[in-house]
Amino acid sequence: MRAAAASCRACDLYKSATQTVFGEGAEHARVMFVGEQPGDREDREGKPFVGPAGRVLDDALEAAGIDRSQVYITNAVKHFKWKPQGKRRLHQKPNAAEIDACRPWLDAEIAAVKPEILVLLGATAAQALLGRDFRVTLQRGQSIERPGLPLMLATVHPSSILRAPDNQTRELAMRAFVQDLTRVAQRLRR
């Protein structure tokens, strides 16, 4: 699947991205994390969540007692979408058509790994699996059941914690994120 996804042309994002960033992790992980799309670092390295957002995710996983090597981590969209801003590549949100075009890869990953729990990190992942009307702010941390899908839990995207305007807000946001992941850890222990 990874090899097939490397030459995916289902939308135009491949044209400006370095490479397809496929999910990776434990083959039969009990929990799968779904982010939005690779960032600048991920695009260069070809691995999900290895940049600044990945560090926040790593810290939160550790605080919640979840071993990263035991989970599977992927993104709703597997190419980096960006626009130039000076010398930087500025992240751009994938649109509904790009999310839809990438959905077969996500479905295939879910079918292959068969996780018990899907953790949706932020609005794009939630939109990909639960539709555009789902609001992470209203339903974060709750168990969500949908036919044909593993049990889901939506929470914020780790980048949102990096964007907090001050230390105190960032600490509170991190605490709430860890609390959501702790719920996942508790479920895994059952």
* Number of residues engaging ligand URA in binding (CB under 6 A): 13
In the complex with ligand URA, the residue whose CB is nearer, 168 or 177, is: 177
The beta-carbon contacts of 108-112 under 8 Å, at least 24 apart in sequence, are: 108/1, 109/1, 109/23, 109/32, 109/72, 109/74, 110/32, 110/149, 110/150, 112/1
- The least distance separating ligand URA from the CB of residue 38, rounded to whole angstroms, comes to 5
- The least distance separating ligand URA from the CB of residue 42, rounded to whole angstroms, comes to 4
Residue with the shortest CB distance to ligand URA: 35
Task: Give the one residue of 35, 71, 81, 160 binding ligand URA; rule: CB under 6 A.
Answer: 35
38 forms part of the interface with ligand URA (CB under 6 A):
yes
Q: Residue 5 in contact with residue 23, Cβ under 8 Å?
A: no
Task: Give the one residue of 17, 25, 31, 36 binding ligand URA; rule: CB under 6 A.
Answer: 36
- The least distance separating ligand URA from the CB of residue 46, rounded to whole angstroms, comes to 11
Closest CA relative to residue 92, chosen from 102, 103, 101, 83: 83
- The least distance separating ligand URA from the CB of residue 19, rounded to whole angstroms, comes to 13
Residue bearing tokens 């699996």: 129
Task: Give the one residue of 23, 48, 94, 115 binding ligand URA; rule: CB under 6 A.
Answer: 48
- The least distance separating ligand URA from the CB of residue 161, rounded to whole angstroms, comes to 12
Which chain residues interact with ligand URA by CB under 6 A?
35-39, 42, 48-49, 51, 53-54, 75, 159
